[in-house]
Structure 1
Amino acid sequence: MLDIAPELSRWCAQGRDFAVATVVATQGSAPRRPGAALAVDADGTVTGSVSGGCVEAAVYELCRQALTSGTSVLERFGHDADDPFAAGLSCGGAIDVLVTPVPAGTPDADTLADALTAAARGEAVALVRGLDSPAGLLGRVLLVRPDGTGRGSLGGDARLDGAAAEEARALLGAGRTSTVRLGHDGSRCGETTTLLIETAAPPPRLVVFGAVDFASALVRVGEFLGFHVTVCDARAVFATRERFPRADEVVVDWPHRYLDSQRLDGRAALCVLTHDARFDVPLLERALRLPVAYVGAMGSRRTHHERLRRLREAGLTEAELARLRSPIGLDLGARTPEETALSIASEIVAERHGGTGRPLTGLCAPIHRDPSPGRPVRAGLPAVDGSGAGHPPRRVRATGPGPR
């Protein structure tokens, strides 16, 4: 639900009762990933989405029912070709949705409000919720911050809260949302319980080195994609706020020196558009040794091979050089700065999600992939009866009390 934190934090501040539906797992092709949410308040006002339209009406009704009953429910929506009236996904996949009532003034609602307020401010925060009705955890809430402090409880053994907090901190560092299974005592042995861990983190960084016309277009695309965009160039006459009004930061500094001053996480993308070995080589020597998501450099193939020669002389290994995307971008036939920016942004998105960059027409791979490259698409949650079997098609429901 942290993806709709700004609106929900306002609802909490206004003392509204509401119910929130959150995608907790997906199977096959699904339009939204775990963490996507839809909320409905007591007056019927709606915000958010869980499926892009396929099952919104059915989820809306579940939220309304949860507001009346005061109980949480876990339900699956899939594709049922034999039932023309069934709410399901036209793409053929399936999603598991947790619907939780949030009556104002309860302890769990207050914990949710703290998490939503932090996420709306752009702060890093994780929200852990139980998904098992038999264990009495369905809908319970634990807030975890990067320093390990937090609020709330999953309602069981304190060791489970501690282990869940450690899992949450790890996912926060990666900027990921996922389900995990832990024992009721926090171990990974014996009977386990399923937890959803949602994370909200500051926007990923896009650092554009080289204050050129292509950079101006890339700044606009990066802003559209939700990056925190920085433009850096050693030439003060080019690196100006007037030339890059949409950038979050415009920095006048030698690129490699600026990079040395930054702490970048594994979601950051670095785009080198300078075309000048004086800037490129010392910058890429550092960038290719950082655990960032993407490093790309602009230039012709001749420039690329000369750049590789210089980087080898600087001591970079073949494995490090293999991380460099150069010439930068996907082959879109781009010519204008705007088309080139689209080409670069497309490659960044493909790298993030493990895409091929090829046309979807005729491609057999799933359209909607797991957000972490190399990780299999989740096959759904274990059965809520604890048997370990998978859910049957379309609907499985587990209920439990709402936030207390």
Structure 2
Amino acid sequence: MLNIADTLHTWCREARPFALATVIQVSGSAPLPVGTALAADADGNVVGSVSGGCVEGAVYELCQQVLKSGEPPTRARFGYSDDDAFAIGLTCGGELDVLVQRIAPTDHRHLTAALNEVTSGRPAAVAQIIDGPEELLGRMLSVTGDGSTHDATVGGEEWEGAVAAQARALLRAGRSDRVEVGGDATTCPERLTILVHTHASRPRMLIFGAVDFAGALSEIGRFLGYRVTVCDARPVFATPARFPHADEVVVDWPHRYLAATEVDARTAVGVLTHDAKFDIPLLRLALSLRVGYVGAMGSRRTHEHRLELLREADVPEEHLARLHSPIGLDLGARTPEETAISIAAEIVAHTHQGSGTPLIWSTGPIHHKTTPPMASSQA
């Protein structure tokens, strides 16, 4: 639905009811992906598309029917017609399922909040229940870039917690997807299929220090979906040829680059230089910013000395408590590649509030019931 966010935002601000038709499943050669939407209001205004033209008329009529009758959300399937090339159907040979529901903006203030974020260029996600108990079909929950949940309508704390966790995870990853939740006694008693619509750029991973560990970490960071930047003040080391997996390689003093670049609550900062002239001004700044993770490489002795220098630089204790150092989980890593895995594992564990212990040592659900906000406590 975020393909038509501008118009939906206007209609929501005007408290104008509308019918929303969302592609919830495709098979074969369907022209548009899952999540694409068409909307129509009572005055006959229509925006968006679900098929590139093949079945727009039929979907529009269904929208008007749902909008005027106020009937519950309804699903419809459209496919290729062998008998009549001009009949309602997808001449491309595919099939698509569409969910049509009536939206009254006064009852969906969370949607208005999410659309406001999207149209302002900020990250947001809308989770929409597309399969499950009939009374929950079409219900939505919105999550904004700081991880806040807005006026959930999915029903009940158990439902809300499970759906919000999936929405936050996909928002962090910057992708839309269909996911299953529930179906067990520890989360939701019944199984739900939700479609999470996201608007988010890739989260950033800022790696400071053009060393071998940075090369391995940039590769795994990109694999995890981060937009990776490697920064070092030494031009002989900070070259694109040495870091082919980084999205950008910057030659600059680390603290100066960090002060000038854009970060948010999903940003992961890795300080791999273990050189005080770089580390101290950089960490002093990084620990004061609204970022999700800050880690610094070095031995325990290096870490203790670094803490002394940061305290001398008047860094508050609550900022120091955010520093992950020595960086990474205890995997017994030796090589740059193994070390990169240990760092990435700690970032994932911190993001989802995982313990980092082997699952065989724990009991209860493997997946956490809820996901924390997208940033740790901030200054």
> CA offsets, 1:55-96, max 9 Å, x none?
111111111111112131111111131355642211111111
Aligned to 2:102: 101
SS in 2 for 1:285: coil
Instruction: Label 1:50 to 1:203 Cα distance change in 2 as closer, same or farther (>3 A).
Output: farther
Matched, 1:283 2:219: no
Instruction: Label 1:86 to 1:189 Cα distance change in 2 as closer, same or farther (>3 A).
Output: farther
Which AA in structure 1 matches 2:81?
D
Instruction: Label 1:138 to 1:191 Cα distance change in 2 as closer, same or farther (>3 A).
Output: closer
SS in 1 for 2:136: coil
Which AA in structure 1 matches 2:79?
G
> CA offsets, 1:295-324, max 9 Å, x none?
9xxxxxxxxxxxxxxxxxxx999xx9xxxx
SS in 1 for 2:243: helix
Structure 2 length-normalised TM: 0.54
The CA deviation at 1:171 is 1.2
Matches within 5 A, 1:387-398: none
Matched, 1:174 2:173: yes
Counterpart CA distance in 1 for 2:199 and 2:165 is: 16
Deviates more, 1:179-188 or 1:88-97: 179-188
Instruction: Label 1:105 to 1:188 Cα distance change in 2 as closer, same or farther (>3 A).
Output: closer
Which AA in structure 2 matches 1:42?
A
Which AA in structure 2 matches 1:24?
I
Matched, 1:9 2:9: yes
Counterpart CA distance in 2 for 1:53 and 1:140 is: 27
Which AA in structure 2 matches 1:286?
F
Aligned to 1:50: 50
SS in 2 for 1:136: helix
Aligned to 2:252: none
Instruction: Label 1:99 to 1:147 Cα distance change in 2 as closer, same or farther (>3 A).
Output: same
Aligned to 2:225: 266
CA contact (8 A) 2:77 2:96 kept: yes
CA contact (8 A) 1:77 1:95 kept: yes
User: Any unmatched runs of 5+ in structure 1?
Assistant: 206-255, 271-277, 296-314, 321-404
> CA offsets, 1:225-270, max 9 Å, x none?
xxxxxxxxxxxxxxxxxxxxxxxxxxxxxxx8xx99x998837599
Counterpart CA distance in 1 for 2:46 and 2:101 is: 15
Aligned to 1:59: 59
Aligned to 1:73: 74
Count of matched residue positions in the alignment of Structure 1 and Structure 2: 239
Matches within 5 A, 1:4-403: 4-71=4-71, 72-82=73-83, 86-106=87-107, 108=108, 110-132=109-131, 134-183=133-182, 191-202=190-201, 266=225, 268=227, 282-288=239-245, 290=246
Which AA in structure 1 matches 2:225?
G
SS in 2 for 1:155: coil
Structure with the bigger RCO (C-alpha within 8 Å, sep 6+) is: 1
The CA deviation at 1:284 is 3.5
Instruction: Label 1:5 to 1:76 Cα distance change in 2 as closer, same or farther (>3 A).
Output: same
The CA deviation at 1:185 is 6.2
CA contact (8 A) 2:184 2:190 kept: no
Which AA in structure 2 matches 1:51?
S
The CA deviation at 1:153 is 2.8
CA contact (8 A) 1:23 1:36 kept: yes
Counterpart CA distance in 2 for 1:286 and 1:84 is: 53
CA contact (8 A) 2:202 2:227 kept: no
User: Any unmatched runs of 5+ in structure 2?
Assistant: 205-209, 230-234, 250-334, 341-379
The CA deviation at 1:22 is 1.1
Counterpart CA distance in 2 for 1:267 and 1:57 is: 41
Which AA in structure 2 matches 1:116?
L
CA contact (8 A) 2:5 2:115 kept: yes
The CA deviation at 1:152 is 2.8
Which AA in structure 2 matches 1:140?
R
CA contact (8 A) 2:66 2:100 kept: yes
Aligned to 1:300: none
CA contact (8 A) 1:163 1:187 kept: no
CA contact (8 A) 1:19 1:99 kept: yes
Deviates more, 1:84-93 or 1:134-143: 84-93
SS in 2 for 1:153: coil
SS in 2 for 1:20: strand
Structure 1 length-normalised TM: 0.51
Q: Percent identity?
A: 43
Counterpart CA distance in 2 for 1:82 and 1:42 is: 33
CA contact (8 A) 1:143 1:151 kept: yes
The CA deviation at 1:204 is 9.3
> CA offsets, 1:317-376, max 9 Å, x none?
9xx9xxxxxxxxxxxxxxxxxxxxxxxxxxxxxxxxxxxxxxxxxxxxxxxxxxxxxxxx
Counterpart CA distance in 1 for 2:121 and 2:91 is: 34
Counterpart CA distance in 1 for 2:123 and 2:105 is: 24
Instruction: Label 1:269 to 1:137 Cα distance change in 2 as closer, same or farther (>3 A).
Output: same
> CA offsets, 1:110-137, max 9 Å, x none?
2211111111111111101112363411
Cα RMSD for the two superposed structures: 3.8
